[in-house]
Chain A
């Protein structure tokens, strides 16, 4: 059925995280923006939330479970709860949210594809995700880091950049190819534990925003890991293998959309309060000719937030209820990233010097939010996914 009533569980989690975000994250947000690369120590209370699947890191299904997926209608699972949590955490602070164990979404990948045995070993570890390389970003199929079998081990070689949590994590999910000549089918993900010889953390990036979160370069040089650390199926299948790796995104893209939404909501609320202090209220009952330019912008932003939230909610609802959501997940990411930035940037514009000043967090939110439109598949890559879906095209027709 069509329903928009917030469940008691959603409301409770939302209120809880909102309160924590307000009390713990907001007061330290500026400090860690100014002290890049310093590890926040105040985030311990959030660990429980991150580990309970509050950010989509929960176990999707046990391996060996029947693949038969039943289509349901009103199941609230890790995806629906994940977007509720993500929106509120990002409302608190996107940078700090990413600095939490599990915030970098490596845990989501483990939750989605690990075997029981792997999940037992790594499920509760603080995981980062290493995909991007100096020579490849959105085109993840061009990964050039190699994994060569050697006895009971794989030997990994390559360089990964822009690894969120790369410095502070306990394990890294590394994308590497088993055989470059076999293309995308040979790309697999491997769990590499910190401290494994051959894995070193290179430079830490200096960034425009999300400075509380560490973004690292990882170098893999003859890094030997047990074969049991390969996530998913080790066979190189011409069809489907890479799709399995990419399927993680159907769960994580709505989450990142929700991060953008949360940050945009923070900016919108701040702007609305600032305007209210000047006596500017937003009215819903006036004809166009009676609205001021600022009021019109505020109404437009409010509509953007509503629409974006609904698109994200639908993608998450589908994921939790056994409905294929590849199209909707990309819509959630593309719309979240785009609308989120339009809103935050407009808020800075509307408030003039107040918006630009570091006395308030608004200017920081604009810097922080831009990345939500980029990582986990840029807006543009997601637009291509969407276009392919609605056109019935494959990669050969549209790229």
Chain B
């Protein structure tokens, strides 16, 4: 039977993230978007929450809390409710840490995980996307060719979060055995930041294009070692994370719209008393209920591991694409309900509208 109540861990995650989202992310939201930057103090504060160290086992210096895709989804939704860009920045280290934890060899875990358990904010990142309309995450144009004891990577990635600050990045590249993930030291020869990207939204999150030109990576940096990784699972966990952040953004828009339409008076009554407005709110509420449950189901499916492996691609694809469609629709409702005010930068609706459009094209910006 499908049941829908949070367990004690999840309740605690939700409570602490809810208040952090309200007290920190939401308040910084507009300013960071305008300045296109994340304040270092914010990242330090986030680090104090232990979003990364909590999920790393004690063997590697972490706190060894229960780790599950579902728990990550609860966290991601709550943070994205505050601000999407800042939530992605806060969770960026997990883009690197989670795949290592889930799929790395013992040696890789030993080598990379302890560094993420210290007191200071540390970034690792993931490079999946490429600047092309036909970009296919299962068939990256970035290639990794094996040459004796190392791989040679060539290609260009885009939308790589925090690439400027990241010491390591996990680069997705095609090999002759399918997709692989490679741990690349950012200072390695052949790696260069092309530019800090400017996009329609996600302004606060530093996103970079990164080029790889004959970049040599030792074979031991191939994630999962010789046998490689379950790349589909990696991609699915990212899609589930994107679905979860979509839910957070959609819910933020609904709550804001409810408050606004109850206060805004036209023709002598709050506009929320009009069916044209009320129906948009109701539709948003229904769809948020739906995308949240679908995201949970996808995360639960991922947590079942081998037992549900055959359904993971399908359910996480549906969750991600449907959530992307709905969050954008809801953001469009939001602008409509605020009328002209919806496009004025005093209101966060304008920012959410630009951010929400990103979901349909995103891959790999968050990991659940």
Contact = CB atoms under 8 A, between A and B. Distances in A.
Given A3-B2, A393-B273, A314 B281 contact: no
Given A390-B258, A391-B258, A310 B3 contact: no
B134 A290 contact: yes
B141 interface: no
B313 A284 contact: yes
Interface stretch (B25-33, B102-110, B198-206, B286-294): B286-294
Contact of A302 (B134, B232, B318): B318
A286 B135 CA distance: 10
A1 B7 contact: yes
A271 B321 CA distance: 21
A308 interface: yes
Contacts of B135: 287
Contact of A306 (B254, B289, B313, B315): B315
What bracket does the count of chain B residues touching chain A fall in? 35 or more
Interface residues of A, number: 47
Nearest to A389: B285
Nearest to B307: A5
A69 interface: no
A314 B289 contact: yes
A76 B286 contact: no
A335 B286 contact: yes
Interface stretch (A98-106, A160-168, A258-266, A380-388): A380-388
Contact of B286 (A284, A290, A303, A386): A386
Interface string A1-41: 11111110010000000000000000000000000000000
B92 to A, nearest CB: 24
A188 to B, nearest CB: 30
A10 B1 CA distance: 7
A144 to B, nearest CB: 25
Interface in B2-18: 2-7, 10
30 contacts: A1-B3, A1-B5, A2-B4, A3-B3, A4-B300, A5-B1, A6-B1, A7-B1, A73-B3, A284-B317, A285-B232, A288-B360, A290-B136, A300-B325, A303-B318, A303-B321, A307-B293, A318-B4, A331-B285, A335-B286, A383-B278, A383-B279, A387-B279, A387-B281, A387-B282, A390-B258, A391-B262, A391-B272, A393-B272, A398-B278
Interface of A: 1-7, 10, 73-74, 76, 80, 284-290, 299-300, 302-304, 306-308, 310-311, 313-314, 317-318, 328, 331, 334-335, 380, 383-384, 386-387, 390-391, 393, 397-398
